[in-house]
Structure 1
Amino acid sequence: MKLHQRMTQNLILQNIAKHISLDENEISYFLSILKEKKYPKKSIVLKEGEICRTINFVQSGTLRAFYRNPAGKESTIMFAIADWWITDMSCFINQQPAMLNIETIEESHIYHLQKEDLDDLYLKIPKFERFFRIIMQNAYIREQLRVIQNLSLTAEERYYIFLEKYPQVEKQVTQKQIASYLGITPEFLSMIRANKNKQALS
């Protein structure tokens, strides 16, 4: 493998190394089954209704997963930044039509791992079962905490948590998208931001 290729793939290897150790042969096999793609800003990575065939690693860029109700209203489920995995998990595991849409917020570089390749990976390198179990457990914990925060915290408190979690995302997304993630109106978010700016100046 060329040095440039290994350098561009280094982030995903660092991500894997957080939870499992791989030898050179295992690394080579893992990298061989990844599909690499670069997307322009505002590209659709997954469209609602399509079979969700891949789990996706963000090498660079920012993505948004959102649900659109029958009336056309969008609710942002999550953002994904560099070094994060993103998919419509339930539909990916069960190979069903996606309930979510996933789009790029900025130009993004993504590694796709197909479901059938993931299943083969579990057989050939069983330690990957541990890795993806941890990834899925963490995703479940993150979403459970978000539900609890939505029930117990004010919109302003949730906004500050958002800023801590996605400090660089706020500059990339629209106020409407942030509001849809927080479950509030853009007008109410504007009031929260104005209050925040007043506090910063006082």
Structure 2
Amino acid sequence: MQYSSLISYLNSFVTLAPEEASELEKRVTHRAIKRRQYILSDGEVCRHYNFIVEGCFKMYKVDGHGKEHNLHFATENQWITDIASFHAETPSQLYIEAMEPSIIFQINKEDLIYFYERSIKFNRIFRVMIEDEFVQLQHRLLQTISSPAEERYLEFMRRYPDLFNRISSVQIASYLGVTPEFLSTIRKKLANT
């Protein structure tokens, strides 16, 4: 298994002792995920934090008209989960779907609490991770309500530079809250400047 990427990621926050890394390896689940396979669906309770070893995922909501609204993309060495559903143990309103064949590690709530209670390092790592995601979410919300679509597109390019060859324009447009046609107009305008 490719535990090294997960251990390296965690060590970027606080270095784990060998016994902590060994215990983590015993408590995470390794999964291979097919393209278009869901690791969470609307109505399910989110039971895992998901660390991406290989692949790309999207988290989205489908509205009453069947329209998809992308909230988040995650690729290698990133986490993806519905934090609200996970912590409150309530049904999710979101989907998390693999956009390409992927490999993930999953940790459930019981095991995460085990680490929180036994190691201040895990408390610190996950607190900082969630704080960083909250800052990103706050930034995105402010952009959505106060920035024109062109600026949101440029910010998307900055935040997700490796995604352009991995996801469709339709997915990007959904994330930005614009139509694919309007995204095409933005791209043409930027190409001509």
Normalised by the length of structure 1, the TM-score is 0.92
Deviations 1:108-167 (A, max 9, x none): 111001111111111222321111111111111100000111122210111111111111
Aligned residue number for residue 33 of structure 2: 39
Q: Which residue of 2 aligns with 1:57?
A: 51
* Residue type at the aligned position of 1:97: P
| Partners of 1:16 and 1:106 in 2: CA distance | 24
- Match of residue 64 from structure 2: 70
- The gaps in structure 1 that reach 5 residues or longer are none
Aligned partner of 2:95: which letter?
Answer: N
Matched, 1:83 2:77: yes
Q: Deviations over 1:37-95 (max 9, x none)?
A: 11121111111111110010011111000011122111100000111111001111111
The counterpart of 1:94, out of the listed 81, 88, 112, is 88
The alpha carbon displacement at 1:168 in A equals: 1.7
Structure 1 counterpart of 2:159, which letter? K
1:131 matched to 2:125? The reply is yes
Deviation string, structure 1 residues 160-183 (Cα, Å, up to 9, x no partner): 111111112122112111111001
- In structure 1, how many angstroms separate the alpha carbons of the residues matched to 2:134 and 2:72? 12
Secondary structure of the residue aligned to 2:51 is: strand
Matched, 1:156 2:150: yes
1:184 to 170, 178, 181: 178
Aligned position for 1:146: 140
TM-score scaled by structure 2?
A: 0.96
Query: In structure 2, what is the Cα distance between the partners aligned to 1:129 and 1:139?
Result: 15
Report how many residues are paired: 193
10, 27, 40: which is aligned to 1:16? 10
4+ residue runs over 3 A deviation: none
